[in-house]
């Protein structure tokens, strides 16, 4: 592995691990947040919606984490159009998430301020890592498993 | 296979856009306004979340339809498999999660229920096909 690839590979593996942990946390969020937010006091439809919302986020984050972990080295090599688009779209996802957290931050009650602030910074940080990955250029260049190679022209 | 993926991409972008107008289309605005603040926020975040996720699926599929159809790129096959799992879970939820009281005995709602089940199942099958090698 090229020495320039190592820091980004490690960073991406770290980001993948963190996303995996957050995904696992989301599965327990309805139960944990009940203490702070009184979810069990809400109508049953509301509890179900909150539960499905958490399940969906857990599913998406697991997907992002798996892709990032599996292809971290390829991303770090400057992985061609497919790798760059993948990283950029995950970056867009986290940008929206941080904007939502920012919106919640402006309306939240004082005791929730630090939690929203931390969540906003976390989301923005992840967005930054993915955008950095999407724009990553390395000296190695060349083909990687993420680089799409068109099939050779059979007529030649 | 490429055309199939392009149709799926456009449909997902359409669903992503439609999802943002769902409260207006289904006349839920007053019901949503009566919800507790936390629930209202979760509802809006959830709607945006789904739309952004589907937009990403749609954009990636449209941009790399040829490569997905060729089935030669490992990263895309992983992505196909992930999206397939997403839609398979959504199709299962359509059957086991939503109460049949929403549609039983109502022709139009029954038709919509079946159409959505076919649509979600079709998405899952199309991406699974691509993940397993597609046209190769």
Query: Looking at residue B135, what is its pLDDT?
Result: 59
Query: Looking at residue A45, what is its pLDDT?
Result: 64
Query: Looking at residue A40, what is its pLDDT?
Result: 66
* Residue A99 belongs to domain spanning: 5-134
Please tell me whether the interface predicted TM-score (ipTM) of this complex is above 0.90: no
The answer to the question of residue B136 being in a domain is: no
Query: Looking at residue B67, what is its pLDDT?
Result: 86
Residue B29 vs residue A69, higher pLDDT: A69
Distances, alpha carbon B119 to alpha carbons A46, B67, B94, B115, in Å: 26, 23, 11, 6
Nearest-CB residue to B39 (from A42, A90, A151): A42
Round to whole Å and give the CA distance between B12 and B18: 10
B-chain CB neighbours of A57 within 8 Å are 49
CB of B56 closer than 8 Å to CB of A88? no
The answer to the question of residue A107 being in a domain is: yes
The answer to the question of residue B40 being in a domain is: yes
Round to whole Å and give the CA distance between B72 and B100: 42
Q: Kindly provide the b/e burial profile for residues B19-49, where b requires at least 16 CB atoms within 10 angstroms of the residue's own CB.
A: beeebeeeeeeeeeeebeeebebbbebbbbb
> For chain A, what is the mean pLDDT?
77
B-chain CB neighbours of A56 within 8 Å are 46, 49-50, 53
* Residue B62 belongs to domain spanning: 2-131
**How many structural domains is chain B composed of?**
1
* B68 interfaces chain A, CB cutoff of 8 Å: no
* pLDDT, tens only, A77-92: 776 888 888 889 999 9
State the nearest Cα–Cα gap between B107 and chain A, in angstroms. Answer: 25
**How many structural domains is chain A composed of?**
1
Residue A141, pLDDT > 70, answer no
The answer to the question of residue A78 being in a domain is: yes
State the nearest Cα–Cα gap between A145 and chain B, in angstroms. Answer: 7
The answer to the question of residue A152 being in a domain is: no
* pLDDT, tens only, A22-62: 888 888 776 666 655 666 666 666 677 777 788 888 888 99
The answer to the question of residue A155 being in a domain is: no
In chain B, which residues have pLDDT < 50? none
Among B45, B46, B51, B75, the residue to mutate for chain A (most A Cβ within 10 A): B75
The answer to the question of residue A126 being in a domain is: yes
Nearest-CB residue to B75 (from A37, A90, A145): A145
Query: Looking at residue B56, what is its pLDDT?
Result: 92
The answer to the question of residue A115 being in a domain is: yes
Query: Looking at residue A150, what is its pLDDT?
Result: 47
């Amino acid at each position: 592995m090229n020495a320039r690839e190592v820091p980004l590979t490690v960073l991406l593996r770290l980001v993948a691990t963190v996303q995996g942990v957050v995904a696992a946390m989301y599965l327990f969020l309805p139960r944990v947040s009940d203490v702070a937010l009184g979810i069990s006091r809400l109508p049953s439809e509301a509890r179900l919606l909150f539960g499905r919302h958490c399940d969906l986020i857990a599913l998406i984050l697991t997907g992002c984490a798996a892709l990032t972990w599996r292809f971290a080295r390829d991303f770090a090599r400057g992985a061609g159009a497919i790798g760059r688009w993948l990283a950029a779209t995950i970056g867009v996802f986290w940008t929206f998430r941080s904007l939502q957290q920012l919106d919640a931050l402006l309306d939240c009650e004082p005791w929730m301020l630090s939690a929203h602030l931390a969540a906003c910074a976390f989301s923005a940080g992840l967005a930054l890592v993915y955008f950095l990955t999407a724009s990553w250029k390395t000296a190695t260049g060349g083909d990687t498993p993420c680089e799409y190679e068109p099939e050779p022209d059979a007529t030649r | 296979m490429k055309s199939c993926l392009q149709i799926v991409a456009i449909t997902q972008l359409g669903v992503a856009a439609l999802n943002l107008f769902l409260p207006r289309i289904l006349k839920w605005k007053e019901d949503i306004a009566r919800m507790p603040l936390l629930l209202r926020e979760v509802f809006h975040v959830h709607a945006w979340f789904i739309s952004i996720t589907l937009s990403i699926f749609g954009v990636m599929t449209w941009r790399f339809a040829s490569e997905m159809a060729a089935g030669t790129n490992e990263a895309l096959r992983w992505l196909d498999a992930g999206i397939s799992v997403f839609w398979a879970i959504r199709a299962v939820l359509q059957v086991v999660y939503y109460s049949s009281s929403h549609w039983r005995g109502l022709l139009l709602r029954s038709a919509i229920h079946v159409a959505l089940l076919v649509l979600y199942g079709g998405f899952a099958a199309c991406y699974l096909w691509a993940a397993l090698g597609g046209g190769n």
